[in-house]
């Protein structure tokens, strides 16, 4: 399961959450609001220098070509 970073649109809290898929929207850990936004930029930056590997079309273990494999690199390979 991928870990995403979210920011609450209500109180501004930032937190990481392990979610079953990219469509899952967790609630804010601080205030419990459901209005949270996934921080894709921070997420990919976290993995950029570590172990980003090429991800061939349709073979991404995340199953979300518009997310983790944007730019042709898969952080989960
Ligand atoms: Zn909040």
Residue 73 Cα to ligand 1 midpoint, Å, equals 31
Domain count, the chain: 1
Please state, in angstroms and as integers, the Cα–Cα distance from residue 72 to each residue in 20, 40, 75, following that order: 22, 15, 10
Dihedral sign of CA atoms 13, 19, 25, 27 in order: negative
Report residue 18 as tokens.
Answer: 């392990």
**Residue 40's domain spans which residues?**
3-74
* CA-closest candidate to residue 62, choices 76, 43, 49, 44: 76
- Quick one: pLDDT at residue 59? 55
Report residue 20 as tokens.
Answer: 């079953």
- Quick one: pLDDT at residue 30? 95
Per residue of the chain (77 residues), what is the pLDDT tens digit?
A: 788 899 999 999 999 998 888 788 899 999 999 999 998 754 454 554 444 455 555 556 655 544 455 555 566 55
- Quick one: pLDDT at residue 1? 77
Residue 70 Cα to ligand 1 midpoint, Å, equals 28
Residue 67 Cα to ligand 1 midpoint, Å, equals 24
Residue 50 Cα to ligand 1 midpoint, Å, equals 30
**What are the residues whose beta carbon lies below 5 Å from ligand 1 (ion)?**
8, 10-11, 13, 28, 30-31, 33
């Amino acid at each position: 399961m991928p870990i995403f970073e979210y920011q609450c649109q209500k109180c501004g809290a930032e937190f990481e959450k392990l979610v079953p898929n990219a469509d899952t929207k967790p609630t804010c850990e601080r205030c419990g609001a459901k209005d949270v936004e996934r921080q894709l930029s921070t997420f990919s930056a976290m993995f950029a220098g570590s172990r980003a590997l090429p991800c061939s079309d349709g073979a991404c273990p995340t199953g979300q070509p518009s997310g983790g494999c944007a730019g042709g690199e898969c952080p989960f390979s």
